[in-house]
Chain A
Amino acid sequence: MENQPKNHISRKGLTVWRLYGVIQTAVLTLLAAGGGTAVFFLDGPSWLYAVLAAVPLLYGFFAIYLFPKIRWERWRYEVREQEIELQHGLFIVKRTLVPMVRVQHVDTQQGPILRKYGLAAISISTAATVHTVPALVNGEADELRQRISVLARVAEDDV
């Protein structure tokens, strides 16, 4: 795509997504282990073991390695004077344009995991939509929030 938005989200965001992937995979592995035990005691067919082993492995590959990598590579944002442009999406690449005049308010949020990595998510709300940039370094997020709210106040309505 020509002239993509230029800023990546924080590299640590990738780590956080991988961590989410690890957690999900761990839960899935536990379930699979439970299933394996059941197969053992109920004398199920042996190919079920193969399936039960393959599912967490595949899931792990996608959720820990591939998907976070693609998502992170894809995630771009840029805040210009009159507009905010975002690009994201795993299977479908979405490029969103939000004019500064439409911005109503900006929030930052931080869950426990994000906080541990010193990250914050920033949500930009218009009257009808909410757009979230998922992982920015704390200071950067605050600075961006400030900047957007100043720019949004300055921007004039092009009625």
Chain B
Amino acid sequence: MSDTRYRLHPISALLNFLKGLKELVLPFLILFGANLLQGEGLPGRDLESLITYGAGAAVLLFLLAAGIIKWRRFVYWFEEGELRIEYGLFVKKKRYIPFERIQSLDYTEGIFHRPLGLVRVKVETAGGQGEGAEAELTAVPRADAARIEEVIEHAKNRVLGNGVSKETAGETAVAEENRREAAREIYRISSKELLILAATSGGIGVVLSGLAVFLTQFSEVIPYEMIYSEVMVFLRFGALIVALTVFISLLIIWLVSLALTIFSNYRFTILANDENIIITRGLLEKKRITLPFKRIQAIRVTENPLRELFGYAAVTVESAGGSAAEMGGEKIRLLPLVKRRDMLPVLERLFPETDWSPEFFKAPPRSVRFYYRVDFLWILPGAAALSYFFFPYGLLAFLAVPLSVALGIWQHRTAGWSAGRRQLTLRTRAISKQTMYVMRKRIQSAEVRQSWFQSRKKVATIQVTVKSGILGAAVRVEHLEKQDTERIMQWFRPQPDKEQEESPIQK
């Protein structure tokens, strides 16, 4: 099989075309929109609009041709234990990836893929240049994807157990099959969880800000004067209607984000075998990502105040390398939303070595002022300025003072740490409560930070950095007892005979 060269499914030409189109959609809209709005209605038959149409058609044709050529030139094959890919529109590129370097294959099935039984395959390696996957096969039949996986697994086994005759190869294949079968289902999102997730997700903010961005993009094109006069007419209908419209449009936005969240998290399922966690999700676009255990650096449990109130939490993992960036940051969502008491069994099954409910040391009572004192630096002048310029309503700005004090007290109460035998757990709050569980061997560096004010009160801040994606992610717990931060450092310090010394810090 080594020399057969495979092509992608022809649909990938269409997908390339659509991808190109998506990138051009905004400039296009502006071009045509401007034409539409400046002229009276649709562009006529004058030369100018003909040129615009012509240019548009040329761009479309170019994109279409590029899509087709990209598909024609893309070939992949297996040779000498490597996945080899050759592609490129103008510049021909070759990429050879040794099988043993391939960490995982991630599948996505978009709406174009599904009726044809195709998948998009992303090949992940540990290196990860940050700019997307190491290699991406836009559209291959599902059977081919399975075959790729098989070939790769096969090759990996051959590297491990050297010298393979036909039979043993067959045996390993069978063993392989068994192991893949053995991926157990650990968790599946319930419809209740899905609904609550959708209703309380920050997706609303995303859609809103998206809308804002959209509007600012168009601000030059939109004829504000025309709209303005219409708005004046509109205003005569009274404030009630305005409020109603605002409410209804917000409601629609909310419903859209609700639907989007449901679509993308539909049937969110976690499977696991000895080496990998496999996450599948999605209704219209199905995704399947494979997350090797050995790449997981830290686990975060996040509870935003609303969800915390009802006992819900979200779990993300920090994973090293790869192009996880495409999955929304190097943080991969392990559990999008789960009741705390349902979460523990899942996490315990996935990560039996981790202690999920350690006993926390708290920040000392005297450090509470540090949590809100800095905020006064900007709140007080800001509030003073507002009161001066918008007297008397500006005085309301001083309400920010008790609010920030309350938040500070809350943050102080949440802050905590725990150092077990091999595991450090840090808990902090910005607004959402975050608990990070990390193994000592995954901590890249630790730092104690102390300002002059902190040193007067003998408190200090601890910060640890873990690898996340191709960069680091730092977690900080602020204003702890100085003695405690020293103890954490001592705990982190490598010792010649760690095995004996390795001891948890207890109360």
Residues of A within 8 A of B (CB): 2, 81-83, 89, 91-102, 126-129, 131, 155, 157-159
Contact = CB atoms under 8 A, between A and B. Distances in A.
A127 B494 contact: no
Given A82-B494, A158-B494, A129 B450 contact: no
A128 B449 contact: no
B495 A82 contact: yes
B496 A82 contact: yes
B168 interface: no
Q: Please classify the interface of chain B as helix (H, G, I), strand (E, B), loop, or mixed, using the class held by over half of its residues.
A: strand
Interface string B476-491: 0000000000100100
A94 B441 contact: no
Contact of B467 (A81, A101, A128, A159): A128
A2 B450 CA distance: 14
A59 B489 CA distance: 37
Nearest to B492: A97
B452 interface: yes
B452 A91 contact: yes
Interface size class of B (residues with CB under 8 A): 20 to 34
A128 B446 contact: no
A96 B449 CA distance: 9
A93 B455 contact: yes
Contact of A158 (B440, B450, B489): B440
8 contacts: A83-B494, A93-B450, A97-B447, A99-B493, A99-B494, A129-B444, A129-B445, A158-B498
Contact of B441 (A126, A129, A157): A157
Given A82-B494, A127-B320, A95 B447 contact: yes
Contact of B468 (A81, A102, A128): A128
B451 interface: yes
B157 interface: no
A69 B451 CA distance: 17
A93 B496 CA distance: 28
B472 A129 contact: yes
B466 interface: yes
Contact of A96 (B441, B447, B467): B447
B473 interface: yes
B448 to A, nearest CB: 5
Contacts of B495: 82
Contacts of A81: 496
B453 to A, nearest CB: 10
A93 B451 CA distance: 6
Contacts of A96: 445-447
A72 B153 CA distance: 55
A126 B448 contact: no
A157 B471 CA distance: 21
A75 to B, nearest CB: 15
Given A128-B467, A157-B441, A101 B447 contact: no
B444 A128 contact: yes
Contacts of A99: 445, 492-494
A144 B320 CA distance: 29
A82 B496 CA distance: 8
Contacts of B446: 96-97
Contacts of B304: none
Contacts of A93: 449-451, 455
B404 interface: no
A129 B444 CA distance: 7
Interface string B411-450: 0000000000000000000000000000011011111111
B423 to A, nearest CB: 13
Contacts of A129: 444-445, 465, 472
Given A83-B493, A83-B494, A128-B472, A95 B452 contact: no
B494 A100 contact: yes
B444 A94 contact: no
B451 A126 contact: no
Contacts of A127: 320, 444, 467, 472
Nearest to A127: B467
Contacts of B444: 98, 102, 126-129
Contacts of A94: 447-449
Contacts of B473: 128
A96 B472 CA distance: 15
A79 B498 CA distance: 19
